Amino acid sequence: MNAPPIVSPQEWEAARQELLVKEKELTRARDALAAQRRRMPRMAVEKHYRFEGPRGEATLLDLFEGRRQLIVYRFFYEPGVKGWPERGCRGCSFLADQVAHLAHLNARDTTLAFVSRAPQPDIERWKARMGWDMPWYTLTDDFDADFGVGEWHGTNALIRDDEGRIFRTYFVNERGDEAMGSTWNYLDITALGRQEEWEDSPEGYPQTPPYGWWNLHDEYGKDG
């Protein structure tokens, strides 16, 4: 291994500070990109999609679970996947293992759901084995093909209005999915973002002070 040199603490700190300048540039660029993403045009979802869930048939609107935003990840777990039905796609499983506690997304009026073409009994067994608790639905129509995930994995972001109309706001796949799992990365691909006051968002977007809304995952909705 051609390892870097060993240096003094002073030299190490100087090198760290030099790299930190570039890291902060990357952070600011990422924030600017998220601000541009919040200004993306929205695509109306006109078709009526149907899914099967643990409690039976569900519409796309049902997947929101009453919240304003929805993030949908297409997980490859279905006939034809290597290891089916005892296991799902390794890459999709890697991502699922990274998903943060859903209470934090829910606190920002956002729901995360997984979809696959596997029947519900197989999905429930697979979730139990892996220790996952995200909502997970069975695809029954052309949703995957229409939303760019018919042949591969991918993450779609959607928003609904007060009349129940649904709009597609963003889509990420391939290596873009590598970063998914963190609450922050999920919120950064949504139309409303993190909904914090420091963000550059269009006028009228919901925003609250940072830190103020953060909570322990089992204490959201409680006083204090």
Q: What is the pLDDT of residues 57-72, one digit of tens each?
A: 999 999 999 999 999 9
- pTM for the model stands at 0.95
Encoded tokens for 57: 């048939």
Q: How far apart are the first and last CA of the chain?
A: 52
- If one counts every other C-beta atom within 10 angstroms of the C-beta of residue 78, the result is 18
Spatial strand order of the sheet with 43-44 comes to: 43-44, 166-172, 154-160, 69-74, 110-116, 136-139, 50-53, 56-59
- pLDDT tens sequence across 66-112: 999 999 999 999 999 999 999 999 999 999 999 999 999 999 999 99
**Cβ(70)–Cβ(64) below 8 Å:** yes
Integer Cα distance of 56 and 51 in angstroms: 8
